[in-house]
Structure 1
Amino acid sequence: MQAWRGGAYLLRSLATGVATLLALPLLCHPRRARRWANWHRDRAGRLLETPLASRPALRATGRRAWADPAAPRDLLWLPVNAITAVPLGLLALLCVGNLLTAAIATPLWWAFAPQDRPRLFIDIPVTSWATALTLGPLQIVLLTALAYLAFAPIARAHARICLVVLSHSAAEQLADRVAVLTRTRADVLDAHGAELRRIERDLHDGTQARLVAIAMRLAVARRALSGNPRNEQFLEGLLRDAHEGTEEAMTELRDVIRTVYPPILADRGLTGALTAVTARCGVPTRLDIDNLETVPAAVESIVYFAVAEALTNVAKHSQATTAGVRVSHTADRLSVVITDNGAGGADDRLGTGLAGIRRRVLALDGTVEVDSPAGGPTTITMELPCGL
């Protein structure tokens, strides 16, 4: 299977090499070269079973497109691909062509056109049925062995050349890393600012307003007491309202504190907090925790909020009947997998909370993968570093 897969890769490489030569003037532009290079990089990565991230499509034009750090590599791949793919692809084509000739064409040719004798092994004429039926199978065996032994290594060699030319250099990797960290840091700062504004708004519009109302009621009660100490019913109503307002203010204050750092994490740890979250979910949810040890408080907080948000989405949007949360901990990574059997189709752009989960996880240099085909099921996989 690997041999024929390698042969198919080489034949496609021949086609792309010829296409590169024919369309070279059109491809000699950074934006087109980037798309062409990404296609080859993905193809080589699949052959070598090495997942690679494609470079983002170039949106810049003019000088800015030519100034992209990866543009020289994309353009270099054009002649390199033509020089390497055409001869290697021709070798595969020659092998396959001779194999088909020996298997099919030679007997038919000898039977129906003996005046124009075919040749086996390039230069041996077929002059009789004995020659056709002996050298033909021998050529098939030898070419099959050659294809089996050579196609896969040659294809892998070409794929490695592709990755050597198109892979990120150390400077490009560092630049990409800096860009990712800069973007996630900006997202964290934006999220932090939004969180501070939300807390200020909740305290100002909720808790502070209730405390002001309580102070006013107590002031009225004090004046009423000094003016008419016997007005017990009026005083009782004011004090009752003040007491209820105090309890409501305390409840709102606890809610605000819970959004900053849930007290349940400090009291019961991540295991107890996740148990409470899954128990409150409107969809029956199974919780599996494997080898969970002590993790940094920042990781605990993000996992708690992410799982809570994801299960809220499940209950509101997924139409699921069951869900599951699996948490596993290795030496330096915490993995969280959330699944449901709902309708699927979850998308960051639809405002279902996935974007917020992704921002929280990326803030700690983690990763989030969402697999949610239409019709379901949905799987959200989060990986967070624990060696902070």
Structure 2
Amino acid sequence: MRVWRGAVYLLGSLATGIATLLALPLLCFPRLARPWAEWHRDRAGWLLGKPLAVRPALPATERGAWADAATPRDLLWLPVHAVTGVVLGLPALLCVGNVVVAAIATPLWWAFALEDRPRLFIDIPVTGWATALTLGPLQILLLAALAYLAFPPIARAHARICLAVLSHSAAEALADRVAVLTRTRADVLDAHGAELRRIERDLHDGTQARLVAIAMRLAVARQALSDDPRDEQFLAGLLRDAHEGTEEAMTELRDVIRTVYPPILADRGLAGALTAVTTRCGVPTRLDVGDLDRVPAAMEAVVYFAVAEALTNVARHSHATAAGVRVSRTADRLSVGITDNGSGGADHRLGTGIAGIRRRVLALDGTVDVDSPAGGPTTITLELPCGW
């Protein structure tokens, strides 16, 4: 398998190296060089078994595209690939071509004209069955051994050259990381401010208003009790309204508290809280929670709210008949997968709650991946670091 992967990679590199050489004047523009370079990065990652993060898109303006930090690397890759693709791919072509000649043309030597009969790689003409049946298989065996030994390391060498040219330097990677953290911190601050405003509004317009009404009813009841103690029916009605208002205010207050930090997490832990969420979901949901060990409280809250929001979306928008939640931990990474068999098409730009999930997860230096093609199914994968 490694030999075939190496052969396909090297032959592809030869073809694209020649194409790069021929189209070099056209490719020397950032908007053409970037997708060409990205495609080669993907090929290199496929060969090395190393999934690569997608680089940021080019700025919208032409000036911004030329000023992008990755543009010089994209342009440098063009001549580098034109040289390395041809130099490293040509031996693979010669090797494969000679194998084909030995395997196909040599047994049919008698069908060729005398001057067109095939020659083996050591320039021995095939003039009889003895040569065809002995030196032909010997050539295939030698070339197969050469391919087995040489193709994988040569292909990996080209792939590493590709990644070395197109990958960020340590300073650029650090700068990108700082930019991401700065952006996510700004998002967190905005989300935190919005959450505080929402809590203040809920308390001011809801709970506080009800408590004021209760206080007024109790004041009237007290006045009625002092002025006319015989009016028991009027007093009972005021006290009943005050009691009902108190219950409603307490319910609203519990709802507000639950949005700050769900009490169920403190009472039952993450597994118990997720069990409650999946049980309440309007769509039958299967829950699979592995051995999580100790998870930081902030991480538990993010997972809880993310799963709750995702399942709410499933029940409201997906038309799904089944859903699943899987939570597992590997070393210092916490993985959460939410799936459903609904109609798909989930997009954070449509205000379906995925944007809120993304902000919460990015705030803890995590990642969110949404796979939701039209027609479904939908899979939301969260990865969170829990080693701190």
Same fold at TM > 0.5? yes
2:383 is aligned to 383
2:176 is aligned to 176
Confirm or deny that 1:85 pairs with 2:85. yes
1:69 is aligned to 69
**CA-CA distance at 1:310 after TM superposition:** 2.2
| Pair 1:294–1:101, CA change in 2 (3 A) | closer
**CA-CA distance at 1:179 after TM superposition:** 1.6
- Matching of residues 264-275 of structure 1 within 5 Å: 264-275=264-275
2:313 is aligned to 313
Greater mean alpha carbon deviation, residues 318-327 or residues 87-96: 318-327
| Pair 1:259–1:119, CA change in 2 (3 A) | same
What per-residue deviation string (whole Å, max 9, x for no partner) do you get for residues 307-336 of structure 1? 222222233334444433333345533333
| Pair 1:313–1:90, CA change in 2 (3 A) | same
Confirm or deny that 1:150 pairs with 2:150. yes
What per-residue deviation string (whole Å, max 9, x for no partner) do you get for residues 263-299 of structure 1? 2222333233223223322333343333233322211
What per-residue deviation string (whole Å, max 9, x for no partner) do you get for residues 229-270 of structure 1? 433322322222122112211111111111111122223332
| Pair 1:338–1:63, CA change in 2 (3 A) | closer
3-state DSSP class of the match of 2:337?
A: strand
| Pair 1:272–1:4, CA change in 2 (3 A) | closer
- Matching of residues 227-246 of structure 1 within 5 Å: 227-246=227-246
Partner Cα separation in structure 1 for residue 379 and residue 61 of structure 2: 38
2:188 is aligned to 188
Partner Cα separation in structure 1 for residue 36 and residue 245 of structure 2: 67
Q: Contact between 2:109 and 2:126, CA under 8 Å: does it hold in 1? A: no
Partner Cα separation in structure 2 for residue 286 and residue 89 of structure 1: 50
**CA RMSD of superposed structures (Å):** 2.4
Q: Contact between 1:70 and 1:172, CA under 8 Å: does it hold in 2? A: no
Report the TM-score, using the length of structure 1 for normalisation: 0.91
| Pair 1:97–1:329, CA change in 2 (3 A) | closer
Partner Cα separation in structure 1 for residue 175 and residue 336 of structure 2: 29
Partner Cα separation in structure 1 for residue 346 and residue 76 of structure 2: 40
1:301 is aligned to 301
1:2 is aligned to 2
Confirm or deny that 1:326 pairs with 2:326. yes
1:27 is aligned to 27
3-state DSSP class of the match of 1:148?
A: helix
Greater mean alpha carbon deviation, residues 260-269 or residues 179-188: 260-269
1:53 is aligned to 53
3-state DSSP class of the match of 1:119?
A: coil
Q: Percent identity?
A: 84
**CA-CA distance at 1:341 after TM superposition:** 4.2
* One-letter identity of the residue aligned with 1:385: P
- Which consecutive unaligned segments of at least 5 residues does structure 1 have? none
| Pair 1:326–1:34, CA change in 2 (3 A) | same
Partner Cα separation in structure 1 for residue 324 and residue 111 of structure 2: 68
- Matching of residues 104-143 of structure 1 within 5 Å: 104-108=104-108, 110-143=110-143
Q: Contact between 2:335 and 2:384, CA under 8 Å: does it hold in 1? A: yes
* One-letter identity of the residue aligned with 1:201: R
What per-residue deviation string (whole Å, max 9, x for no partner) do you get for residues 207-226 of structure 1? 12222322333343344445
Report the TM-score, using the length of structure 2 for normalisation: 0.91
Q: Contact between 1:368 and 1:382, CA under 8 Å: does it hold in 2? A: yes
**CA-CA distance at 1:134 after TM superposition:** 3.2
**CA-CA distance at 1:344 after TM superposition:** 4.1
- Matching of residues 249-264 of structure 1 within 5 Å: 249-264=249-264
* One-letter identity of the residue aligned with 1:28: C
* One-letter identity of the residue aligned with 1:131: T
**CA-CA distance at 1:19 after TM superposition:** 1.3
Aligned length: 388
Partner Cα separation in structure 2 for residue 328 and residue 249 of structure 1: 39
* One-letter identity of the residue aligned with 1:50: K
Greater mean alpha carbon deviation, residues 76-85 or residues 25-34: 25-34
3-state DSSP class of the match of 1:125?
A: coil
Partner Cα separation in structure 2 for residue 38 and residue 52 of structure 1: 10
Greater mean alpha carbon deviation, residues 180-189 or residues 280-289: 280-289
- Which consecutive unaligned segments of at least 5 residues does structure 2 have? none
Q: Contact between 1:42 and 1:54, CA under 8 Å: does it hold in 2? A: no
Q: Contact between 2:101 and 2:118, CA under 8 Å: does it hold in 1? A: no
1:288 is aligned to 288
**CA-CA distance at 1:52 after TM superposition:** 0.8
3-state DSSP class of the match of 1:47?
A: helix
Partner Cα separation in structure 1 for residue 333 and residue 199 of structure 2: 31
What per-residue deviation string (whole Å, max 9, x for no partner) do you get for residues 171-212 of structure 1? 111011112111211221121122112112212221122223
